Structure 1
Amino acid sequence: MSRDDNIGGFRRGNPIKWLLGFGYFVQGFRGFPWLGANFFLTDELHVNPSVLQLLQNSANIPMVAKPVYGIVSDSVYFFGQHRIPYIAFGALLQAISWLAIAFLSRSNVSILALSLYLLLSNLGASLVEVANDAIVAEAGKQKSSETQSSGIAIKTFSAQSTFLVFGILALLQFLVSINIREKSLNLPKNPSLAGIGKHISDLSKVLRKPEISYSIAWIALSTAVVPVLTGTMFFYQTKFLKIDASYLGISKVFGQIAMLLWGVAYNRWLKSIRPRKLIAAIQVTIAVFVISDLLFVKGVYRDLGVPDSVYVLFFSGILETLFYFKNLPFTVLMVRVCPPGCEGSLMAFVMSAIALAFIVSGSFGIVLASFVGVTEGDFSGFTRGLAVEAICVGIPLILTSWIYDEVETKEKIKKKE
């Protein structure tokens, strides 16, 4: 029996589902060690809300370079493979970084050292996501069903434990990846095996297409103009309200469940809705949840008899994931208009634009928190900040015509004829 036929039963068990399913599970679990890192930064290193949010944003810098990873993965092959090697290497980088954090002595950990390990982790995550997204895009060319999924975890750990658990999961992802041959995924052959220069040229041509460039501009703008206050909210919940860490952990679980249910709902019932309408509806939903957070901080729900911990448990994690809900229909839209052979590069550019938008959004949040006078011990201006955030979420709705609409375009062509 050949090696390809005998590796863990992958060939018999649909290897693309093994690869992507386990991969998205691991990446979906990433929120839990990051939650642990937040507690580590605030409890052990005693950072303030602005520094916490600055560190969260700066750790996302490797995500901005995704177009580079995409172009390289499209054009540079290792042993005849150009997706799985990047998944394996990215998973290994994550395993190394989180295991190093888990085993470091607390007395020897500095903000600089922790920041470097977090940067290394996000570099690995970027490589994995680029390769996974490229596989999804390539598989999407062959069949209409979506292969995206999301990870779920069902238990909350201490900070050190989440670092260790995720490091082990990433190591397992590395082992799973290296035991799958890319040819078993039955992906379409890349029509262009040219070098990096050719792929850069092809990507440049794709990005000049109005249906692509305007759509990407909107998805990035819809995030960048929103000054998120995640660091401030974390401090408000844990330091001011004294909500137990377990509630925040379980809230993350609800957020991941919401992501999973969203993927199922989209595939079964929402896929036929025009992307522009669906994405706009998600943007409105985000605004509603931000307003709900404003009411939470004002104590409205508390006055109605809803404990703060209950609100955090069911709603905080969902709001965080809502910002990612629009990525699924947008990704499907990009897959439809992307020329064959440029899937990895284009999807990497899209995710890079979104990552940069989140960094800008977080930076605006730091400025906004300072402007409304929020500090570690004074949250009196927090509601004003949330009101500004809610208004900013609504601004991109004015420009939804930038999102490419296939039906509208066909109708315009018919009218011209």
Structure 2
Amino acid sequence: MQAALLRETFLQALSWLAIAISPSSISVFTISIYLLLSILGASITEVKNDAIVAELGKQPPSSTKHSQQPSSSGNLQSFVWIASSVGGVAGNLLGGIFISRFSPQSMFMFFGLLVALQFFITVSVHESSLGLSKNPSIGIKKQLSELSAALRKPEITYSISWFALSYAVVPLLNGTMFIYQTQYLKIDSSVLGISKVFGQETMLLWGIIYNRYLKSISPRKLISAIQATIAFLMISDVLFVRGFYRQMGVLDTLYVVIFSGFLEVLFFFKFLPFTVLLAQLCPQGCEGSIMAFLMSAVALAFIVSGYLGVALASYIKITGSDFSGLSLGLVIQASCTLLPIFWSSCIPEYVKTKDKHKD
């Protein structure tokens, strides 16, 4: 596992540093290849990290005999979520400061060096310190067999199918909204950067709130509530496009920072309760494979969602200079977001556990 993480981190660092030292006449195609390799490395690393968290979340603590319950109640997932959000806030703030002071190549060099530092930190961490179970006799065929057996469980298959479809059926208009805000409303890019920082701060707050107050709520009810909230805020975007908030005296920049930043990350809020649920549903030893399969399904769902968004924007004739159909597109997007709630029965209400001890 560690060797794979090292390879993907090295791939990221190499791609970013290659862009940084390339001449200014570098072709768009070459940059696209470098960025594709970087995204590939980041994606695989993220999947492996999620797999490690899922597996560690099922490891029972061995320090005291009073702590007999596995960490499947979501403590570890919440902690990782909070740590990731802190990193997101710091990264966006750093990027916002650098983007107005340094050239793009200097920024690629700086962040490439940061990824290289991450590579060397990963090298210094011994895999045995994670306490992961090792079984060198398990090959790809054995892993695929265990994954197939896990997916034959209806509660796992139905849950993953619902989660992936909840993204796939929504035609995303994020790119269209970005063009509308920057090209039509002439909102400065620094404002959008601040909105991303605000979004990461809300993700940090969400991790804390979930860990302290919401873990006992039914996953089905909590995820359905998040889905409904996403649709509600999309209707708020309709009012924004039609100038309703502007007439009330609310600045466009203020709306973009708060509501747009919050809506952008709200799509990911249901990841936390769902991964906690899935870790509880997974058979012992198959957590990593199931989590990797989930992330692959979600990635495919986002691709489908993006294509649907492009098709919708084309159908209602949204162009770079004509956004008259954007409000209708947002209404359709919100309606599609509500659809998964009607088959939310695919998500289990609760997961029965044998051990009733408190953490």
**TM-score (normalised: structure 1):** 0.75
Q: Which residue of 1 aligns with 2:288?
A: 344
Q: How does 1:321-400 map to 2 (within 5 A)?
A: 321-400=265-344
Mapped partners of 1:88, 1:352: distance in 2? 20
SS in structure 2 at match of 1:97: helix
CA contact 2:51–2:287 (8 Å) conserved in 1:
yes
Q: Which residue of 2 aligns with 1:186?
A: 131
TM superposition shift of 1:101 = 2.9
- Percent same amino acid among aligned pairs? 57
Mapped partners of 2:110, 2:153: distance in 1? 44
Q: Which residue of 2 aligns with 1:95?
A: 13
Q: Which residue of 2 aligns with 1:173?
A: 118
Q: Which residue of 1 aligns with 2:144?
A: 200
CA contact 2:219–2:350 (8 Å) conserved in 1:
no
Q: How does 1:51-62 map to 2 (within 5 A)?
A: none
Q: Which residue of 1 aligns with 2:357?
A: none
TM superposition shift of 1:345 = 1.0
SS in structure 1 at match of 2:187: coil
Q: How does 1:213-228 map to 2 (within 5 A)?
A: 213-228=157-172
TM superposition shift of 1:191 = 5.7
Structure 1: tracts of 5 or more residues without a match: 1-82, 411-417
Mapped partners of 1:320, 1:162: distance in 2? 24
CA contact 1:88–1:173 (8 Å) conserved in 2:
no
TM superposition shift of 1:102 = 3.5
Amino acid at match of 1:261: L
TM superposition shift of 1:98 = 2.3
TM superposition shift of 1:252 = 0.8
Q: Which residue of 1 aligns with 2:193?
A: 249
CA contact 1:95–1:167 (8 Å) conserved in 2:
yes
Structure 2: tracts of 5 or more residues without a match: 60-70, 354-359
Mapped partners of 1:267, 1:109: distance in 2? 47
**Of 213, 233, 244, the match for 1:300:** 244
CA contact 1:191–1:341 (8 Å) conserved in 2:
no
- After superposition, the C-alpha distances for 1:368-394 in whole angstroms (9 at most, x for unaligned) are 000111011111111111110000000
Query: Higher mean Cα deviation, 204-213 or 119-128?
Result: 119-128
Q: Which residue of 2 aligns with 1:148?
A: 80
CA contact 2:6–2:119 (8 Å) conserved in 1:
yes
Query: Higher mean Cα deviation, 388-397 or 254-263?
Result: 254-263
Q: Which residue of 2 aligns with 1:261?
A: 205
> For the structure 1 residues 297 and 101, does the alpha-carbon distance in structure 2 shift closer, same or farther, using more than 3 Å as the test?
farther
TM superposition shift of 1:320 = 1.3
Q: Which residue of 2 aligns with 1:104?
A: 22
Residue 117 of structure 1 pairs with residue 34 of structure 2: yes
SS in structure 2 at match of 1:379: coil
Matched residues, number:
325
**Of 310, 330, 333, the match for 2:254:** 310
Q: Name the Cα RMSD after superposition.
A: 1.8
> For the structure 1 residues 131 and 114, does the alpha-carbon distance in structure 2 shift closer, same or farther, using more than 3 Å as the test?
same
SS in structure 1 at match of 2:170: coil
**TM-score (normalised: structure 2):** 0.86
Q: Which residue of 2 aligns with 1:21?
A: none
CA contact 1:191–1:340 (8 Å) conserved in 2:
no
Mapped partners of 1:168, 1:243: distance in 2? 31
Query: Higher mean Cα deviation, 209-218 or 255-264?
Result: 255-264
- After superposition, the C-alpha distances for 1:113-144 in whole angstroms (9 at most, x for unaligned) are 23322221121112211221121112211324
TM superposition shift of 1:106 = 4.0
Amino acid at match of 1:90: E
> For the structure 1 residues 202 and 318, does the alpha-carbon distance in structure 2 shift closer, same or farther, using more than 3 Å as the test?
same
Query: Higher mean Cα deviation, 100-109 or 168-177?
Result: 100-109
CA contact 1:214–1:404 (8 Å) conserved in 2:
no
**Of 193, 211, 226, the match for 1:282:** 226
Query: Higher mean Cα deviation, 144-153 or 377-386?
Result: 144-153
> For the structure 1 residues 291 and 253, does the alpha-carbon distance in structure 2 shift closer, same or farther, using more than 3 Å as the test?
same
- After superposition, the C-alpha distances for 1:324-346 in whole angstroms (9 at most, x for unaligned) are 11111111111001112212111
CA contact 1:224–1:357 (8 Å) conserved in 2:
yes
Mapped partners of 2:303, 2:148: distance in 1? 24
Mapped partners of 1:244, 1:102: distance in 2? 25
Amino acid at match of 1:184: S
TM superposition shift of 1:163 = 3.2
Mapped partners of 1:131, 1:290: distance in 2? 32
